[in-house]
Amino acid sequence: MSAIRFLLDENVHPLYRTELLKRERTLVVWRVGMVGVPPRGTLDPDILDWCEKHAFILVTNNRASMPPHLKDHPAHGRHIPGILVLNDKMTVLETIEEVLLIWAASSENEYTDKMVYLPVR
């Protein structure tokens, strides 16, 4: 079992969480807006702070504002477990398989302070 955990941002369709958990019950995947995580409308820097504090890789489709926030985070001595950026040209199934591959085959710190665009290959 992998120690990697994922937080889906509020703009990632809930279907991704449902399908990930169908395929791997031990996976920890939460969504912004759920109880215990940042509420919907939370600013990107605050989401990164939460991910750092709780050791979650952020899964997002935010290609516009997230890169500058990721750049600023380490500049202030902070470290994010990583960000995975979804690819709108990939099907839901392809995306699910890619995230599961990352979960199963990656080390816990492999994506620290990195933004990775799917697919990884």
DSSP code string of 2-52: ---EEEE-TTS-HHHHHHHHHH-TT-EEEETTSTTSPPTT--HHHHHHHHH
List the one residue out of 83, 87, 103 whose CA is nearest residue 95.
87
Burial (CB count within 10 angstroms: exposed 0-12, middle 13-18, buried 19+), residue 90: middle
- pTM for the whole structure: 0.94
Q: What are phi and psi of 30, to 5 degrees?
A: -115, 165
The span from the CA of 108 to the CA of 3, in Å, is: 6
The span from the CA of 67 to the CA of 65, in Å, is: 6
More confident residue, 99 or 75: 99
pLDDT band of residue 20 (cuts 50, 70, 90) is very high
SS3 of residue 98 by DSSP:
helix
Domains and CATH numbers, the chain: 5-117 (3.40.50)
* Per-residue model confidence (pLDDT) at position 71: 76
